[in-house]
Chains A and B, each alone.
Chain A
Amino acid sequence: MELRDCVNDEQLNIYLDGELTGAEKATVEAHINTCDQCAARTREMRGVGEALKTVTMKAVDEADFSQVWSRVRAEAFPPKPVEEPRRSWLDGLLGDLKNAFSPAFAVAVVIIVAAIVYYSGWLQPVPTPPQPIMEAAIDSKAQIFSIESDSRAVMVLQSTESGATIIIVSDIGSETETNQEPSI
């Protein structure tokens, strides 16, 4: 089929957009190939589209796409907070104590313990209780004359012909045996 008249603008647009098919497309193409005026119009209209595409694709070429996915991911898939493994109550307590322990804390504990020990008197010398009088040490024949005692000493006197003899002096923390004659 041959076109008597030139291709109208609507038809030319549809042809340029590739939406004409079959016989219709062939007819328009045949006319454009033989009509200088329609060929010029076709070039001009096609040039508009090509210019638009060229300008846009140049902008695409100049654009930096390296960060597009990382930006989208950061917003769409934010990193999840790291979950700590579950602990038993004992682990938790020990962990808390471990966390609470620090050099300053240790120094404070030592000072407090030392103060308690000092003021409680735990470190003072323990008084030795008075030693019991060893009856075995006394001559079985001796007769206990008297027992004198004050807060610090116990004295055992043995009565003899010459007078009293001190046989045992027991003092707190020490024991002395003597045969000294009494000074009185």
Chain B
Amino acid sequence: MNNQSRVSSQDNELDDKELLERLRQKDEAAFETLVRRFQKKAFAVAYGHVGDHSEAMEVVHEAFIKVFRSIDRFRGDSSLYTWLYRIVVNVSLDHLRGRKNLPTDSLTHTDDEGEDSGEERHESDTIHHPDRILESAELRAEMQRALDQLSPDHRAVIILREVEGLSYSDIAETMGCTTGTVMSRLFYARKKLQEMLKGHR
């Protein structure tokens, strides 16, 4: 049993199997349970991709509507939650493709502000102490900028692993690839982020 299913079973009396059955019957209460149970996880994945609150919320909305419309076609070969994650990732990627040539308003290029602050941050400070990253919007934007440097596949695996805590096999199921691919993508993504954040002073 994957981590998500286990947690959700504890959170709610309705287990995943029964929930899925009722979802297929287009039961409104079941959909409400699903939305309330999964909305924060969906938002986290969406935000990791698009880096903007309102757009991430839009992704979440579209993803749930897709779930509602395609639940009949879900065969249950994978777990309900990896299927949901896949939908959120795909909708997020659609949004990114839609703004491919547009400036990313979620990013604040504040290099000048960083120089003005006169603070000298060592690379080890930034990486070892995540709270310091949040001390300013500048550094928070830096994380988003580092994520934006990753390909959609690399970004998806690092978010699913680090934020959602999915196992290699769950990520592989979500992304439709092998665990070996997940390992190599994670290795690359983590290394790339490390370099990007080291470069921030």
Q: A interface vs B, CB < 8 Å? A: 9-10, 13-14, 17-19, 43-45, 47-60, 62-63, 65, 68-69, 71-73, 75-77
* Chain B stretch 40-56: residues in CB contact (< 8 A) with chain A: 40, 43-44, 47-48, 53, 56
Do A48 and B197 contact each other (CB < 8 Å), given the known contacts A17-B186, A56-B47?
yes
- List the A side residues contacting B168 at CB < 8 Å: 17, 19
- List the B side residues contacting A19 at CB < 8 Å: 167-168
B128 near A72 with CB under 8 A, answer no
Give Cα distance in the complex from A68 to B57, angstroms.
8
Which 5 interchain pairs have the tightest Cβ spacing? A47-B127, A49-B162, A51-B130, A54-B130, A76-B68
Q: Closest approach, in angstroms, between the C-beta of B161 and any C-beta of chain A?
A: 6
Q: Closest approach, in angstroms, between the C-beta of A19 and any C-beta of chain B?
A: 6
- List the B side residues contacting A69 at CB < 8 Å: 32, 35-36, 39
* Contact of A72 (CB < 8 Å), options: B31, B124, B186, B187: B31
Do A60 and B44 contact each other (CB < 8 Å), given the known contacts A13-B187, A17-B161?
yes
Give Cα distance in the complex from A48 to B197, angstroms.
8
B31 near A76 with CB under 8 A, answer yes
* Chain B stretch 41-88: residues in CB contact (< 8 A) with chain A: 43-44, 47-48, 53, 56-57, 60-61, 64-65, 68
- List the A side residues contacting B143 at CB < 8 Å: 51-52, 55
Counting CB contacts under 8 A, is B194 at the interface?
Answer: yes
Q: Nearest chain-A residue to B161 (Cβ)?
A: A17
- List the B side residues contacting A52 at CB < 8 Å: 48, 143, 147, 158-159, 162-163, 193
* Contact of B133 (CB < 8 Å), options: A9, A51, A73, A75: A51
Q: B interface vs A, CB < 8 Å? A: 28, 31-32, 35-36, 39-40, 43-44, 47-48, 53, 56-57, 60-61, 64-65, 68, 124, 126-131, 133-134, 140, 143-144, 147, 158-159, 161-163, 167-168, 183, 186-187, 190-191, 193-194, 197
* Contact of A60 (CB < 8 Å), options: B43, B140, B162, B194: B43
Q: Nearest chain-A residue to B51 (Cβ)?
A: A59
Do A13 and B53 contact each other (CB < 8 Å), given the known contacts A47-B128, A57-B44, A72-B68?
no
B28 near A75 with CB under 8 A, answer no
- List the B side residues contacting A62 at CB < 8 Å: 53
B162 near A13 with CB under 8 A, answer no
> 8 A–B contact pairs at CB < 8 A?
A44-B124, A48-B194, A53-B130, A54-B130, A57-B163, A60-B40, A63-B56, A76-B28
Q: Nearest chain-B residue to A50 (Cβ)?
A: B130
* Contact of B134 (CB < 8 Å), options: A45, A48, A58, A75: A58
B60 near A68 with CB under 8 A, answer yes
B194 near A45 with CB under 8 A, answer yes
Give Cα distance in the complex from A112 to B35, angstroms.
65
- List the B side residues contacting A9 at CB < 8 Å: 187, 191
B197 near A51 with CB under 8 A, answer yes
Do A68 and B127 contact each other (CB < 8 Å), given the known contacts A52-B159, A57-B163?
no
- List the A side residues contacting B127 at CB < 8 Å: 44, 47-48, 51
B43 near A65 with CB under 8 A, answer yes
* Contact of B163 (CB < 8 Å), options: A44, A45, A56: A56
A48 near B190 with CB under 8 A, answer yes
Give Cα distance in the complex from A55 to B136, angstroms.
11
Q: Closest approach, in angstroms, between the C-beta of B176 and any C-beta of chain A?
A: 19
Give Cα distance in the complex from A59 to B191, angstroms.
24
Q: Closest approach, in angstroms, between the C-beta of A16 and any C-beta of chain B?
A: 8
* Contact of B61 (CB < 8 Å), options: A47, A49, A71: A71
Q: Nearest chain-A residue to B124 (Cβ)?
A: A44
